Amino acid sequence: GEDVEQSLFLSVREGDSSVINCTYTDSSSTYLYWYKQEPGAGLQLLTYIFSNMDMKQDQRLTVLLNKKDKHLSLRIADTQTGDSAIYFCAERGPSGYNKLIFGAGTRLAVHP
Amino acid sequence: GAVVSQHPSRVICKSGTSVKIECRSLDFQATTMFWYRQFPKQSLMLMATSNEGSKATYEQGVEKDKFLINHASLTLSTLTVTSAHPEDSSFYICSARTGDSNQPQHFGDGTRLSIL
């Protein structure tokens, strides 16, 4: 079955880069997503990557996909206190598959 | 773009009450909407998927008579928690998607439901 795993907690200093990692099991996943959740709020789509891509960059965010190892990472450059939140990795299965499978979320804490 | 509005943001009510939560796509047509439940410090659990004009598809273990979903238009889906009890207290989040399953889901801000 499908499974998505993430480390639960990451602490970084303001201005440093943050790297949040995610592994998934379904090799037929077509899209992989990163969502951000601030306290008491819904999920904000940060970025997503199609499975035939290795990397996608969008301003401070860089997504790397290693399809062979089923490993996805999100790098946040110049991390700010406003980046403190929970980050969810999610995969979508084969074409036409409706559901997203979410990881447990990584809590990012940014300190001065 | 792709804004999803969810109301109310917080509800506190007595046991036995039925509560309706609305999910609206404000600037796009949502062919598919999803309802999730999130327990404290946990990930999202998909409850059901609804397509406009069709009956919702519920995930295993989710009682369809308890959690009524209506997706009457391309911009509105509602979740009604019927005869709510304290164990139904949770954070409920909707998401909406336009087009086919290649399109990303966009989420509302969630509803914190507290049953006394």
**Tens digits of per-residue pLDDT, B88-99?**
999 999 999 988
The pLDDT value recorded for residue B24 is 95
Candidate from A13-22, A41-50, B93-102, B103-112 with smallest mean pLDDT: B93-102
Could you give the CA distance from residue B75 to residue B46 in angstroms, rounded to a whole number? Answer: 20
Per-residue pLDDT band for A95 (boundaries 50, 70, 90) equals low
* A8: DSSP letter: S
Residue type, B90: S
Contact B42, B34 (CB under 8 A): no
CA pair distance A88, B46, nearest whole angstrom: 14
- Given a cut of 80, is residue A103 above it in pLDDT? yes
Q: Give the pLDDT confidence score for residue B84 in this predicted structure.
A: 95
- The SS3 assignment for A38 reads coil
A-interface mutation test, from B4, B23, B92, B101, most A Cβ less than 10 A away: B101
- Model confidence at A51: pLDDT above 90: no
The shortest CB-CB distance from A105 to any of B43, B95, B112 is to B43
- Asked if B69 contacts B57 with a C-beta cutoff of 8 angstroms, the reply is no
Q: Which residues of A touch B44 (CB under 8 A)?
A: 43, 88, 102
Residue A97 clears pLDDT 80, i.e. is over it: no
* Torsion sign over Cα A44, A46, A51, A52: positive
- Tell me the chain B residues in contact with residue A39 when contact means C-beta distances shorter than 8 Å: none
For residue B16, what is the DSSP state?
T
The whole-angstrom separation of Cα A86 and Cα A44 is 10
Which residues touch A59 (CB under 8 Å, ≥6 apart)? none
Amino acid at A54: D
Q: For residue B93, which residues of chain A lie inside 8 Å, CB to CB?
A: 42-43
Contact B49 A92 (CB under 8 A): no
Cβ pair A42:B6 closer than 8 A: yes
Residue B88's φ and ψ, nearest 5 degrees, are: -85, -5
Answer whether B107 sits within 8 Å of A40, measured CB to CB. no
3-state SS string for B22-77: EEEECCCCCCEEEEEEECCCCCEEEEEEEECCCCCEECCCCCCCCEEEEEEECCEE
Chain B positions in Cβ-Cβ contact with residue A92 (cut-off 8 Å): 101
Q: Is the pLDDT of residue A19 over 80?
A: yes
Identify the three-state secondary structure at position A7: coil
Length of chain A: 112
Smallest CA-to-CA distance from B67 within B36, B96, B95 is with B36
Question: pLDDT higher for A48 or A94?
Answer: A48
Q: Is the pLDDT of residue B114 over 60?
A: yes
Give CA–CA dist A48/A34, Å, rounded: 6
CA atoms within 13 A on the CB side of B77: 32
